[in-house]
Chain A
Amino acid sequence: MRKLIEGSMAVSESVRLCRPHVIAAYPITPQTHIVEFLSQMVADGDLKSEFINVESEFGAASVVLGASAVGARAYSATTSQGLLLMSEVIYNIAGMRLPLVITIANRSVSAPISIWNDHSDVVVLRDSGLITLFAENAQELMDIHPQAYKIAENPEVSLPVSVNMDGFILTHAFEPVEMLDQKFVDEFLPPFEPVHKLDVENPITMGLLAEPTWYMETRYKLKETMEDAIPIIENVAEEFKEKTGRWFGGLIDTYRMEDAEIAIVGMGSLIGTLKDVVDTLRAKGEKVGVLKIRSFRPFPKEKIREICSEINQLVVFDKSYSLGLGTILQEELRACFYRQKHQPLVSGFVVGLGGRDIPPQSIIDCYNETKGKEILDEFVDINEEAVGRR
């Protein structure tokens, strides 16, 4: 069934079909619609979950941690400052190998305070053990949550998974969405069987102190698990495609990359814009395609090298910036090719910080400017006069 719904409703409906036992969340723009819809579903009896209105995002993450630890399927959603407040707990959830899903309505980070979209929030957690997936549109948001739970709860993984969606651009926009139904999701996503849980019949201890003799081993196992998750993410997306015919990528996705010499790279809703840009450029005879990074963590290095084996240049558009280093996705892609046989040029542009509009023409201008040479750290469409560059 096809319905015209808001992105946040696509998320809520998808999460409802996953039958979470416990939902804990704290309101923060632009995540609010998701948890409002979910709490209404609980209030109407359409979703049988314990919905916990917590006192902070720190509390939200801690509540879902506790729920997952007794073997309950748990869900939360947040963004920006809320995610930063959760960050201590997210590291902990991953370190304790507790699977759950959290939707992040990506938003910039204060100061200055801004409620609008970029990716500055989730990139902060790139080293935390949180599997980080980016969705492109409302349909993918509908489709990705059962996949996210299936990845998280795979006993070889048993880690938290975040589904990232651009704040306002996806949370508040209405799009036609092919709805999933309960029967399909129940078949696709089996009940949660935890690898370890708090149980009076088998009273284990969780969350121990690791002295220097043990800490490195626990981190090694996490490293190994993140690597193990790579084929699992891909397989889950493949299985979903087999059953629905829909495909938004596994670790990555590509658009018109078949004979491409240049790849334009991005994450999230920007992919729609990049596809339009590529159509425009292709019409002018440019050999260019889109590389969508769907799994930012684990970062699919091998897959990217494989897909870019004939690519001469990557033009990367980041919605975040690592102050004192550079654009983050660009730096990671560059590192992918270091000392490899094939080393394409890698350019990096900063776009859309704090919700700044990203007109297709700006992408085209960047493309034309950087074609054949590397440009780094360019803040696209900034007010040159205001920053004193002119």
Chain B
Amino acid sequence: MAETTKKRKPKPPVTESLLTSGHRACAGCGESLGAKLVIDAAGPNTIVTTCTGCLEVFSTPYPESAWRVPWIHSLFENSSAVAAGVEAGLKALGKKEGINVIAQGGDGGTADIGIGCLSGMLERNHEVLYVCYDNEAYMNTGVQRSGLTPFDTHTTTSPSGKKSFGNQHPKKPLLEIVAAHNIPYATSATVGYPADLQLKVKKALKEKGATFIHLHVPCPLGWVYNTELTIEIARLAVQTGLFPLVEFKWGKVTRVRKITRERKPVEEYLKHQGRYRHLFASEEGKKEIKKIQAIADANIEKYGLV
């Protein structure tokens, strides 16, 4: 990777991010990190639309905005449709050339309440990159279950209890649903691998059509872990097979991140997180962990990750 010629040119000084400081995300927030990486990869000639949610609330409380690009929030479920309007408006005005349009939302705003608008935007193949920041629950309202909450996860509306191990439904296959729209590019990514994420953003923005990034962003508050572990946990999700990194072009898998050498049992991922604490508290819980391992194994098998 790093070539060690001693006389290499010094890097220019670090410049201010397009999602700048002073925003009110929790310490260690994976979503704010993800958003920073995405917008800095996209660059200043970008217009951003955002769903209601943590990202919108922490970055734009009036009269403060952490965004240094033109940015708009409308409603919970329509950032994709607003972006479609932005794109169509720019095209009609003859101003689309050289301008990126990025729509973004959380897992709820994307996979649940916003999936209708998202599907429409994808089907019409607007030149928009949609980024779904998946922290696997409605964090802004206090960690309630979403369609992207994983199996056996404790949330405030899918709590573990005497008769439950938490959320009883597997994660909605969002990336597959999106890829099935036969768009030029759809991929998963994670803040655990920032360089890979930023490469994917640039790749997506080169396409003349709808593109999608399903971005895994750990949430220290909702997942209940120490703030410094955000990146490590994000990587473990990939290394266990629970969050596979898969790229689709025109609906077909074109590339996956292999985990042959780094593959780990799911306990390695689950044990850091308070939202899975109940699984380690009883023998029955340990049987549940086997079910989660089966989900990871199925992902590994499906996408040939080893």
Contacts and interface: CB of A to CB of B under 8 A. Distances in A.
B62 A210 contact: yes
B17 interface: no
A64 B82 CA distance: 7
Nearest to A215: B62
B120 A92 contact: no
Given A59-B120, A62-B81, A69-B82, A200 B69 contact: yes
A14 B61 CA distance: 41
Most chain A CB atoms below 10 A, which of B45, B78, B83, B116: B78
Interface in A187-223: 198-200, 202-211, 214
Contacts of B33: none
A208 B88 contact: no
Given A21-B89, A52-B84, A208-B62, A66 B49 contact: yes
B126 to A, nearest CB: 9
B68 interface: yes
B85 A22 contact: yes
A58 B85 contact: no
Contact of A22 (B47, B62, B88): B88
Contact of B73 (A56, A63, A71, A207): A207
Interface string A12-26: 000000000110100
B44 A200 contact: yes
A50 B95 CA distance: 13
Most chain A CB atoms below 10 A, which of B45, B86, B92, B124: B92
A101 to B, nearest CB: 15
A160 to B, nearest CB: 13
Interface string B67-104: 11111111101100111111111111101000100000
B65 A208 contact: yes
Given A52-B124, A208-B63, A67 B86 contact: yes
B119 interface: yes
Nearest to A211: B61
A110 interface: no
B41 to A, nearest CB: 16
* Size range of the chain B interface in the assembly: 35 or more
B46 interface: yes
B74 A70 contact: no
A4 to B, nearest CB: 32
A89 B72 CA distance: 14
A62 B85 contact: yes
B83 A66 contact: yes
B60 A207 contact: yes
B119 to A, nearest CB: 6
B57 interface: yes
A271 interface: no
Contacts of B295: none
B86 A56 contact: no
A206 B89 contact: no
Contacts, number: 161
B84 A63 contact: yes
A209 B60 contact: yes
A70 B86 contact: yes
Contacts of B63: 208, 214
B91 A198 contact: no
Given A62-B74, A89-B78, A67 B88 contact: yes
Nearest to A51: B88
A68 B70 contact: no
Contact of A65 (B85, B95, B124): B85
A206 B82 CA distance: 12
B56 interface: yes
B62 A70 contact: no
B56 A209 contact: yes
A382 B183 CA distance: 55
A72 B61 contact: no
Given A66-B85, A207-B60, A208-B60, A96 B124 contact: no
A62 to B, nearest CB: 3
B117 interface: yes
A55 interface: yes
B72 A206 contact: yes
Contacts of A89: 74-75, 78
Interface of A: 21-22, 24, 48-50, 52-56, 58-59, 62-72, 74, 88-89, 92, 96, 198-200, 202-211, 214
In the A-B complex, the 7 residue pairs with the closest CB atoms: A66-B85, A72-B89, A55-B120, A62-B81, A21-B92, A205-B65, A67-B89
20 contacts: A21-B93, A24-B85, A50-B91, A58-B77, A58-B81, A62-B82, A63-B88, A66-B83, A66-B84, A66-B85, A70-B85, A72-B92, A72-B93, A200-B45, A200-B47, A203-B68, A205-B60, A205-B65, A207-B74, A209-B60
